[in-house]
Amino acid sequence: MQNPNVVTRTLARPGFLEAVVGLSVLMALSGVLMPVVRQEVGESRGLQAQRDMQSIAEGLSAYSHDTRFLPTGVEGRTNVAWLFGPGNIPADHAFASGAARGLADVLLNPSMGGEHWAGPYARAGLHPDPWGHAYLVNVDGLVSPAKRAVILCAGPDGHIETAPNAVQPAGDDLLLSVD
């Protein structure tokens, strides 16, 4: 038996029209917010890549200071033209001519530095760029006056569009000069 003094209410379920209006509002908000979120994520990745490249440059500088060798080959030989980090190495890049070694050989283990190697020189280790590609370092520019020593990130598209002796990056690449 129900108490006659208690009022009960039943909540009406939203109808079709209310559901359509609610979905329309959500779609409009997502259309406005998604580009902003995408831009923020892209900027965050770009800033992370810049920090990574700065860390690599600092590691290479500390390596050269400690070992008294340029990172151009075992104990300063000049047989290495470029270094690469972990990740997918962009295909058909301009650095492909010349011998290459992994950045880990310079920054994380003493294989190239000789007896004065005092690393590791990568504070946070080595990892791919925020898009999964390898950082490339043109160390040939340290010994060849016609070239520039740069650290390159292929950017979101994964293709190196910047020439090895460039002063400014091309396309969506990121560049840090080591000179």
Residue 78 domain-assigned (yes or no): yes
Residues in the chain: 179
Q: What is the pTM of this model?
A: 0.71
Q: Is the peptide bond before 110 cis (omega within 30 degrees of 0)?
A: no
Q: How far apart are CA 55 and CA 113, in angstroms?
A: 18
For residue 173, what are the domain limits?
46-177
Q: How many independent structural domains does the chain possess?
A: 1
pLDDT in tens, the chain (179 residues): 566 666 566 666 667 777 777 777 777 766 665 665 555 555 678 899 999 999 999 988 898 889 888 888 777 777 778 889 999 888 777 766 777 888 888 888 888 888 888 889 887 789 999 999 999 988 877 776 667 788 899 999 999 888 877 788 999 999 998 86
CATH number at residue 86: 3.30.700.10
